[in-house]
Amino acid sequence: MQVYLDNAATTSIDPQVIDVMVEAMTNNYGNPSSIHGHGREVKTMVERARKTVANLLNASPSEIFFTSGGTEADNMAIVRSIEGFGITHAITSPLEHHAVLHTLEEMEKEGKVKLDLLRVNEKGVIDLDHLEELLANNPKTLVSIMHANNELGNLTDIARVSALCEQYGAIFHSDTVQTMGHYKHDLKELHIDFITGAAHKFHGPKGVGFLYINGKNKIKPLLFGGAQERNMRGGTENVYGIMGLAKALELAYEHMEEHRLHIQSLKDYMKEQLTQKIAGVSFNGVTEEKDSLYTVLNVSLPPSDMADMMLFNLDIKGISASGGSACSSGSDIGSHVLRGIGVDPSRPSVRFSFCKHNTRAEIDYVISELEKIYAK
């Protein structure tokens, strides 16, 4: 049996998304920067996709900029806002994705900002009172806090963060890659400067994402070249990726509640079965439904001889999962997130992440294989 439970790393492409992309690849090959009919036709398609994304997020199409993915979007927001707004201080958490954490660390090394890391507790919950203390003492601040942690699944109250940033005149960027397509983001209600999305996290193609830039903000491009993306990102647009992203987000919004209920039930079931059948199991991060991303369950398993190669043992049984962020898999130092909350390194931690295609039968198979590992 083949079971894919690494959807926080990437999801499969929805067949309807593939159909849209293939149709465009087959019939719409013009360069959107060309002024002839073939080019204008494709330009119209790109702008229609932009409008689709903007409408779903309750934003203006002029606030949506397509990128190569979440990492580029995060870098563009952070680097260009620090340089463009005279930012001298930045605040983030030690548990952020490296696209944010490493970017801010590099900006500090270059002497462009002083960087403060927020306190987090043993569950990985960010101390927002600490955020307010730092904001009160530091004008001209950039705050970058993700909506949901990609390894633990912890949700942060970005509405409260937004209110604090507005109160103290800070710029607020949020990496919303893990929640885009799974939660609704109303950008007219949420006072935020930048958010990011990546299509492959919500059943779209890899290599395409977007950055939302609040219309009141003006920043310079990260990539210079042509006049694409209204002079904000040089380079020929990934037309087919953009088409796929818009369709995938449209489908995600259309079926969001139905998929949430299904996926949450799988997560609850797996947690229940693990608790019953694997003695000594525990869970990393917050697991209460209202505070936890319903697609992610981070499990801390008991130490054992077989457990030293847990992901390998699961893989040979056809089970795909992750030991943390896929972007740092293969690293000798392991997960900075799990280290940051003091998880015992002798206990194998596995991130199981779910999607609309997973089933209870798959969960039962995973549990049975884990039982066999611990029976040896």
What is the C-alpha separation between 24 and 45, in angstroms, rounded? Answer: 9
CA-based nearest residue to 303, from 348, 333, 265: 348
CA-based nearest residue to 56, from 44, 67, 68, 64: 64
Tell me if 65 sits within 8 A of 232, measured CB to CB: yes
What is the C-alpha separation between 131 and 152, in angstroms, rounded? Answer: 20
Kindly name the residue from 62, 236, 327, 360 that is annotated as catalytic: 327
Give every CB contact of residue 102 below 8 A, 6+ residues apart in sequence.
none
Distance of CA 171 to CAs 168, 226, 257, Å?
9, 28, 31
Q: What is the largest CA-CA distance in the chain?
A: 68
What is the C-alpha separation between 157 and 161, in angstroms, rounded? Answer: 7
Q: Is 339 helix (H, G, I), strand (E, B) or coil?
A: helix
What is the C-alpha separation between 318 and 296, in angstroms, rounded? Answer: 19
Rg (C-alpha) for the chain, rounded Å, is 21
Tell me if 298 sits within 8 A of 5, measured CB to CB: no
User: Is residue 165 annotated as a catalytic residue, yes or no?
Assistant: no
What is the C-alpha separation between 167 and 162, in angstroms, rounded? Answer: 9
What is the C-alpha separation between 194 and 84, in angstroms, rounded? Answer: 14
| Residue type at position 308 | D
Beta strands 194-198 and 209-213 are: antiparallel
What is the C-alpha separation between 251 and 203, in angstroms, rounded? Answer: 9
Work out the burial of residue 376: count CB atoms within 10 Å of its CB; fewer than 13 is exposed, 13-18 middle, 19 or more buried.
exposed
| Residues recognised as catalytic | 327
